[in-house]
Structure 1
Amino acid sequence: MPIGDCMTEAERYKITSNDYTDILAEGFERINGMFNSKDYTVNRINNDYAVYHPPASELTIDSTQKFGYQYIPKCYGLMNLSSNEVSGITRVRMDPSLELRGQGVLLGFIDTGIDYTNPIFRYADNTSRIAYIWDQSIESGKYQEDFYFGTEYSQWDINTALIAEDPYRVVPSRDENGHGTALAGIAAGGEDLSAFFSGVAPDAEIVVVKLKEAKQNIKDFFCIPPNVPCYQENDIMFGIQYLINVADKLERPIAICIGIGSSQGAHEGEGVFCNFLNDIGRIAGKSIVVAGGNEGNTNHHYYGEINPSVGFDVVSLNVGENESGFTMELWGFAPNIVAVEVYAPDGGLVARVSGIFLQRSTQIVNHRGTAIFIDNQFSEERTGNQLIMFRFKKPFSGVWRFVVSGSGDLLLRYHIWLPISNFLTANTYFINGNMDTTLSIPANAINTIAIANYNHQNQSLYYYSGRGFTKNGGLKPDVAAPGVNITAPSLSGGFYSSTGSSESTAHATGAIALLLEWGIIRGNSTKLNNILIRRIVINGARRSPTVSYPDQGWGFGTIDIYRAIRRYYEDD
């Protein structure tokens, strides 16, 4: 990368300014020459990944064609104690030969922040168990070295705040949503005997990244509705790299909880973000645990097959009233190519997407106040498969029909995904949706630990738990963890019952922290990385005699960290 293109102190405003947009890059050279303006700069995530910041005017309606689908940052949203018993947590604490509580291990969270004043995040002497907070949303000049944005608060800063009359004058970072606080509490909260509460790894130290909101120009490009929590892929990548840097500085192992997800992408474990996670998954002492999402029974996924003797398939999409806009992605299977005709609820044919002619620019359709932007890539560069992306703005309500056809003598297959539930109204869904292949991205990445959600009280899979496998048959999710009616800390200082994929992921991340304590801190398996952790956790999972594993819903079974450690010794 030319040195002159690198981020400087004077240019760091471009990271947060909506006058500039963000474009991902691998290897740094690929994007050079693609911008009309020379007013851009580059912020490195690490030696292999970076973000370009050109003027927002560069993010035009045809940017998918111009930059490539994978390099426009996707939008991620939230995935909204007997559980310790069923996951083997109580046994690894009580067994005299183990007594694992997360001591010496870091737990990292990339989310909405943390209520650092809550007593469950303190030691017995009232000092904080939070080692660092990097708040990406606060601009002060006190940013993480080389990242040029946000504000970093150390454990000393937090302890100083805790003894101040007004803590938030010293450390103004807040969790206004409560999602991040709940996950940190589930995974690493201290014991509160009066409330019968304990986090999974109550002696672990905590590192928090509070994500800044996505830029409006990125939200507009992907038709994300206003007033919903939305985060950019590149900011999540910066957050993960920050946690890795802190772990390296403190020379500690770290388990990272990703309780956010997206439905944008091929669902094959490909893409810049997934590659980034796969790279980290090979590093000893680093584990990334990812939510499988809550899209299993939302009818936001459609799977179609077209028999050559029939020649077409009809997809019916109900669009609810007051839907401001959304993105819909059709992903095919090479070498087949599909064509699509789009019919509005009034019966009118509004668009034809050719399966013959190479589309070099974005097709723009206007019909009765609805705008549709259509990009058709016969061979998306990362997967080699066809991608047709529809971006609807102000769609009118009713049932839209998509007549999908193709040519050739092979069975023609394809998937279509709508955004996650947080980005849609409740009345937008496929009439004949398919619950499989609904894992939220990046749970498809092979070197992550992908978590499904189940109810530990009645041993049933959570109704909305995202299901595998990946589009190309990869065996995800890995295991299921408790995530229904889990006790979590609230912003009011008490506790509440919480349910969702994020909760099961936080529970599993705490369990992985105990495994890292056993392996890295105590020297039983010092080369533990996510590849080996995945094998140990899968090997120790509990399996029902009535389920055939691996299962699209359950993965390889339910997590049991005590059993995983004991079986490691048996296999050694």
Structure 2
Amino acid sequence: MTLEEGKRIFSNEYADLLIHYYGNTAMLENFKDATIQIIDYFFAVVYVPVEQVTNKTIMELGYSSMPSLSGIVSSSSMDASNITKLRNFPAFNLRGEGVLIGILDTGIDYTNPIFRKADNTSKIISIWDQTIYTDDFKSNTYYGTEYTQEQINAALQNENPFSIVPSTDEIGHGTMIAGIIAGNDVPESNFYGVVPDAELVVVKLKPAKPYLKEFWRIPETAVCYQANDIMFALEYLEQVAIRLNRPMSICVALGSSLGPHDERADLNDILSKRAENMNFSIAIAAGNEGNAKRHYSGNILSNVGFDSVEMTVGENESGFTLELWGDSPGLFSIDIISPSGETVPRIFPTLRENKVINFLFEETEIIVDYQLVESQTGDELILMRFKKPAPGIWIFNVYGMGTSKLHFNMWLPMESFITNNTYFLQPDPDTTIISLGNSTVPITVTAYNSVDESIYQKAGRGYTRTGRFKPDIAAPGVSVISPALNHGFTEVTGTSPATAHAAGVAAMILEWAIVERNLTTINTIDIKILMIRGARRLPGSSYPNKQWGYGILDVYNIFDSLRRG
């Protein structure tokens, strides 16, 4: 790739296609006027003029070719996890010394004092800002700019630090995550980072391109990021840790309510592969979709032949995506009834089909894609993209063919991608963990209120669509003290702060295992097992379960169980 070709990565005139090429570069040569960027042996991004992306792209290239879009998950925890109790033992005063924290999010306010060491230098090893285009591609990705610790320290000594390092966090989500994990203690504000002696490696993700938001019917103002940019961010974090030969705890507080909701999606697979690497831990948020009424679970009885799904659409809904995933080996088809009573006749399944549906009495347009054998899962997908949906009750009659149990799921987009006035009338709160949280190997974290030990009611619930146990662990996530962009502090709630807390505990385990050389071959699987062994379980409940996973995170119990063992 030349420098001129690299401009396509930023340009809104070019579309990003995510291609699963399995090392066969010959198959990438079929694209016209294309620039190819290899992510790894399995995936490549193909940049083509945006006009080449049409309503038929999914039919021609498959559902996974259009990068999925992930949004940010969120809207006194130290004692709740017994971190303070553990630190009373000198041998276990684990504060993250020698461990790296990997952040891929909205960026970081590097000028905040909580991210400085005692000598006033920065705790940030580097920032890769994907949004700043320069000719300096230290990350070998042909986009973004990398700022080193030396540059950040120079900026902190300057009256105008952003003249040297112009990377900022306009939203605050990344700063919140980084602060909860590794911020300096500020007792007067009742703020304590989990591992304040750890150092940070930060990726500020590039916002999704407008054409992709339009394709997935996501509002222009929504904060979201492309799967290919997340893949490159993971590669960058891993390479920095390998270069420095240090363990890393990565926090992923992003996700989507679309996709298969199991371990087989492309980005889930990548997260699991990287989580298996020695010296690494990856923690992922379960999301806040548990009581949002945006999931439906249906069974088609043989004596009835179909299941009627009712969905209400609110006023002023500009558009959204609705997905139906049918469990194999069943075959599924639908008909649609609009709020005015207009009926779209039953659409029968074919291997790949694309239909554009317009209505006589409504302005609504629905683009329907049938994927009889979706490439990531092998299951059937019916993808419906609504434009100007008429408000009122929509009915979808779902028909099934087959002799086995005919079960299907339907999902609407996550919060901020759709209004709260659009939802299913008979929703199922289970199987609402957001997409990335369904990855097999990473630690999926839900949130609870540490004051009364109640589950956070908005938290996504398990299990995965294929029945795997998720979430894994519950961490404090209600009214957690967090840094704000004004260098003050605020309370935050959700599975994002809970995941940051768990990622900090994972860093404590990495310090004990790798830095102090107690278990030098540790990876995410081992850390997850230690967390599960040490989890505190409430009486009267069986574990694992769909809300709490294996129980409440308790770092003291983790090490106490090793001592007793």
Question: Normalization by structure 1: what TM-score?
Answer: 0.96
Asked if the contact 2:334–2:346 (Cα under 8 Å) also holds between the matched residues in 1, the reply is yes
Separation (CA, whole Å) in 2 of partners of 1:142 and 1:567: 49
The letter for the 2-side match of 1:238 is F
Separation in 2 of the partners of 1:193 and 1:275?
41
Residue 37 of structure 1 deviates from its aligned partner by 4.8
AA aligned to 1:278 is S
Q: CA deviation at 1:569?
A: 3.9
Partner of 1:188: 182
Residue 506 of structure 2 corresponds to 512
Match of 2:234 in 1: 240
Indicate the residue corresponding to 1:530 in structure 2.
Answer: 524
Q: Secondary structure at the match of 1:256?
A: strand
CA contact (8 A) 1:308 1:410 kept: no
Match of 2:271 in 1: 277
Q: Distance in 2 between matches of 1:281 and 1:327?
A: 30
User: Which residue in the other structure is 2:466 paired with?
Assistant: 472
Shift of 1:397: 0.8
1:42 Cα deviation after fit? 1.7
Structure 1 stretch 27-36 or stretch 387-396: which is displaced more?
A: 27-36
1:39-188 matches, within 5 Å, as 39-80=33-74, 82-188=76-182
**C-alpha distance after superposition, 1:444-466 (max 9, x if no partner):** 11111000111111101101000
Maintained 8 Å contact 1:274/1:442: yes
Equivalent position amino acid for 2:117 in 1: Y
2:290, 2:433 within 8 Å by CA — same for their partners in 1? yes
Is 1:298 aligned to residue 295 of structure 2? no
| Structure 2 counterpart of 1:213, from 197, 207, 232 | 207
Q: Kindly state the Cα deviation for residue 28 of structure 1 after the two structures are TM-superposed.
A: 5.0
Distance 1:512 1:137 in 2: 29
TM-aligned CA deviation for residue 36 of structure 1 = 6.8
Q: Is the contact made by 2:22 and 2:41 (CA closer than 8 Å) also made in structure 1?
A: no
- Shift of residue 68, structure 1, vs aligned partner: 1.2
In the alignment, the residues of structure 1 paired with residue 39 and residue 291 of structure 2 have an alpha-carbon distance, to the nearest angstrom, of 36
Identity %: 45
The alpha-carbon deviation at position 469 of structure 1 amounts to 0.3
Letter paired with 2:352: R
Letter in 2 for 1:341: D
More displaced 10-residue stretch of structure 1: 25-34 or 190-199: 25-34
Correspondence 1:14 to 2:15: no
Preserved CA contact (<8 Å) 2:308 2:396: yes
Deviation at 1:263, TM superposition (A): 1.3
Residues 1:43 and 1:526: Cα distance change in structure 2 (over 3 Å): same
* Corresponding residue for residue 357 of structure 2: 365
CA distance in 1, matches of 2:522, 2:12: 41
The residue type equivalent to 1:364 in the other structure is V
Using a 3 Å threshold, how does the CA distance of structure 1 residues 200 and 351 change in structure 2: closer, same or farther?
farther
Deviations 1:35-64 (A, max 9, x none): 875311222223443212122122211111
SS at match of 1:54: strand
Question: TM-score when scaled to structure 2?
Answer: 0.97
SS at match of 2:58: helix
- Per-residue CA distance 1:64-107 (angstroms, 9 max, x = gap): 11111123210110111x21112122123221121100000001
| Cα deviation, residue 353, structure 1 | 2.0
Give the superposed CA RMSD. Answer: 1.5
1:570 aligns with 2:550: no
Aligned residues: 562
**Residues in 1 aligned to 2:87 and 2:45: alpha-carbon distance in whole angstroms:** 43
1:231 counterpart = 2:221:
no
Match for residue 255 of structure 1 among 249, 255, 259: 249
Of residues 528, 536, 543 in structure 1, which corresponds to 2:537? 543
Q: Deviations over 1:507-545 (max 9, x none)?
A: 111111101001111111111111111111111111112
Give the counterpart letter for 1:328 in structure 2.
Answer: L
Query: Is 1:31–1:67's contact at 8 Å kept on the other side of the alignment?
Result: no
Query: CA distance change for structure 1 residues 502 and 31 in 2, over 3 Å: closer, same or farther?
Result: farther
| In structure 2, C-alpha distance between the alignment counterparts of 1:221 and 1:471, rounded to whole Å | 25
Partner of 1:336: 330
My pick for the range that moved more, 17-26 or 370-379, is: 17-26
Hey, what does 1:222 align to over in structure 2? 216
Structure 1 position 282, deviation (Å):
1.4
1:212-271 CA deviation, whole Å, 9 max, x = no partner?
Answer: 100111111111111110110110111111111111111110001111111121111112
CA distance in 1, matches of 2:352, 2:459: 38
Which of the residues 269, 276, 287 maps onto 2:281?
287
5+ residue gaps, structure 1, are: 1-6
**Range with bigger deviation, 44-53 or 445-454:** 44-53
Determine if the alignment matches structure 1 residue 411 to structure 2 residue 405. yes
1:25–1:31 contact (8 Å) kept in structure 2: no
Once the two structures are superposed, what CA deviation does each residue of 1:342-371 show, in whole Å capped at 9, x if it has no partner?
11000110353214xx15331100122111
Structure 1 contact 320–425 (Cα < 8 Å) conserved: yes
1:496 aligns with 2:459: no
Cα distance in 1 for residues equivalent to 2:25 and 2:380: 22
Distance 1:515 1:556 in 2: 18
Matched, 1:521 2:515: yes
The separation in 1 between residues aligned to 2:158 and 2:53, in whole angstroms, is 45
1:354 pairs with one of 324, 348, 353 = 348
| Matched AA of 1:258 | V
* Correspondence for 1:402: 396
Report how far residue 376 of structure 1 moved. Answer: 1.0
CA offset digits 1:253-304 (Å, max 9, x no partner): 0001111111121111112111111111111011111000000000000000
Is the Cα contact below 8 Å between 1:34 and 1:67 reproduced in 2?
no
For 1:204, the equivalent position in structure 2 comes to: 198
Residue pair 1:376, 1:388 contacting (<8 A) in 2 also: yes
Contact 2:155 2:164 in 1 (8 A): yes
1:191 to partner: Cα distance: 0.9
Change (3 A) 1:25 1:34: closer
Task: Tell me if structure 2 keeps the 8 A contact 1:371–1:393.
Answer: yes
Choose the corresponding residue for 2:555, options 535, 549, 561.
561
Residues 144, 150 of structure 1: 8 Å contact kept: no
**Once superposed, which parts of structure 1, at least 4 consecutive aligned residues long, lie more than 6 Å away?**
none
Q: How far off its partner does 1:380 sit?
A: 1.2
Moved more, 20-29 or 277-286: 20-29
Name the counterpart of 1:266: 260
Q: For residues 138-191 of structure 1, what are the alpha-carbon distances to aligned partners after superposition, in whole Å with 9 as ceiling and x for unaligned?
A: 111223332010011011111111110111111111100011111111111001
Contact map agreement 2:139 2:236 (CA 8 A) in 1: no
| Greater alpha carbon shift after TM alignment, 263-272 vs 293-302 | 263-272
Q: What is the SS of the residue equivalent to 1:38?
A: coil
SS at match of 2:125: strand
Aligned twin of 1:3: none
Change (3 A) 1:41 1:118: same
Mark the runs of 5 or more structure 2 residues left unpaired by the alignment: none
Per the alignment, residue 4 of structure 1 pairs with: none
Q: 1:31, 1:360 → 2: CA distance?
A: 25
